[in-house]
Structure 1
Amino acid sequence: MDQTQRRRGAALESALLDAAWDELLESGYARLTMEAVAARAQTGKQVLYRRWPNRAELVVAAMRHRTGSIVQDVPDTGSLRGDVLAVLQRMADRFAALGPDLIHGLLSEAPDVSPEITSRMSGVMLAIVLRAAERGEIPSAALPLSVLLAPTNLLRHQMLLTREALEPATLTTLVDDVFLPLAGAGAQATPTS
């Protein structure tokens, strides 16, 4: 590749993330190396390390590149219950698509991942409860962080304990029996059927 064809900026980043994703699918998380991704992308591993300090951060970026980000598209179904169920369903779908080996591999390297990655859901959940409070579904959006993140944290915990697809009933239970009562949602937020 000569200088006139050198990839830069967004084109380079996209190529790197595509290479990481392809290597991940081919090799699996446990055997994924920065060297293999760099070779697949036809670049040096220092190019990867300038953008992502370790493979866990690279894999998270590749996942977002490939599957999108919930943060960029917060559900708005018109109800607190529907919004939280939509978030949990997206998380469960991503778990099913990525597979337990990838999720467990990433979680085993959680200390290597920026805390921003796990805290992103607080912004999603805050946006949801702010809308719910404006609609009058809950008395206030000023929920303790532990309540705000209860459904997503409990779902992550469930994903850690299982290697199987999560049942829709699990998501419904997390929302109807745990989150809505903790958030102070009245009977209007729960299903009537």
Structure 2
Amino acid sequence: MTQPKSRRRGAELEAAILDAAWEELREVGYGRLTIEGVAARAGTSKPVIYRRWPGRPHLVLAAWNARSPSKIPVVQDTGTLREDLILLFGSIARRANEMLTEMAAGVMSEAFRHPEIGRLLKLRLNEPSPMTEAVEKIVGRAVERGELPPIELPHRTARLPLVLIRSEYPQPGNCFGEAGESVIEEIVDDIYLPLLKGLSTTDPDK
């Protein structure tokens, strides 16, 4: 039996548990994944895991989020809204490509068929995230520069960059390959910029 590795603490221990949960999910699937199995693989105990996550679905989503492209750093201020968005979309695309290399889409598709995962995922999608915060800051900078008038950014609009990038990935490497930069520019120019400008010209009283 694997013995708990008592020297690990905090972020190091949490990362080991999430890695173990991900590997268990890949090997046995969500239906057969157990907290006992994750604890054994991580070299820790069930109580340690339960102190951090109340149950199996919470742990699995945490493992997914550890690899999620929603964890996008705020991009640098390039001086223009368009260039800021291109950098952000490029960052999301690179992370999505890494995830697909790890077969994340196939792993999570099995887990998402379970109702408890679906309920938690729906709640999670309605929460602020580093990616939505990055979009809000980029739009805020554009307003300060006078590129956009003050607008209220709907939550779904702030999440849309991730959705748009994911739609380009039916197979690994489909978007961010040789033509990746041009695809990202098309998404920004043809979809996201017009959407933001449309929000800025919408009369809320009509």
Instruction: Return the letter of the residue paired with 1:178.
Output: I
SS in 2 for 1:75: coil
Which consecutive unaligned segments of at least 5 residues does structure 2 have?
A: 199-206
In structure 2, the CA distance between the partners of 1:102 and 1:145, relative to structure 1 (3 Å rule), is same
Find the aligned partners of 1:107 and 1:93 in 2 and give their Cα distance. Answer: 23
Is 1:56–2:60 an aligned residue pair? yes
Q: Normalised by the size of structure 1, how large is the TM-score?
A: 0.70
Find the aligned partners of 1:90 and 1:6 in 2 and give their Cα distance. Answer: 35
Match of 1:27 in 2: 27
Aligned length: 177
**CA deviation vs aligned residue, 1:130-181 (integer Å, no higher than 9, x gap):** 011112222224334444433333333444xx12324224422221111111
Which consecutive unaligned segments of at least 5 residues does structure 1 have?
A: 186-193
Q: Normalised by the size of structure 2, how large is the TM-score?
A: 0.66
**CA deviation vs aligned residue, 1:26-73 (integer Å, no higher than 9, x gap):** 627657543332111122234223312324223135426xx8931xx2
Match of 1:174 in 2: 187
Match of 2:71 in 1: 69
Q: How does 1:112-131 map to 2 (within 5 A)?
A: 112-113=120-121, 115-116=123-124, 119=127, 120=129, 121-131=131-141
Structure with greater helix share of residues: 1
Provide the identity percentage: 34
Q: How does 1:1-193 map to 2 (within 5 A)?
A: 5-23=6-24, 27=27, 33-52=34-53, 53=55, 54=57, 55-63=59-67, 69-70=71-72, 73-78=73-78, 79-99=80-100, 100-102=105-107, 104-105=109-110, 107-108=112-113, 109-113=117-121, 115-116=123-124, 119=127, 120=129, 121-159=131-169, 162-167=170-175, 168=180, 169-184=182-197
Instruction: Return the letter of the residue paired with 1:125.
Output: V
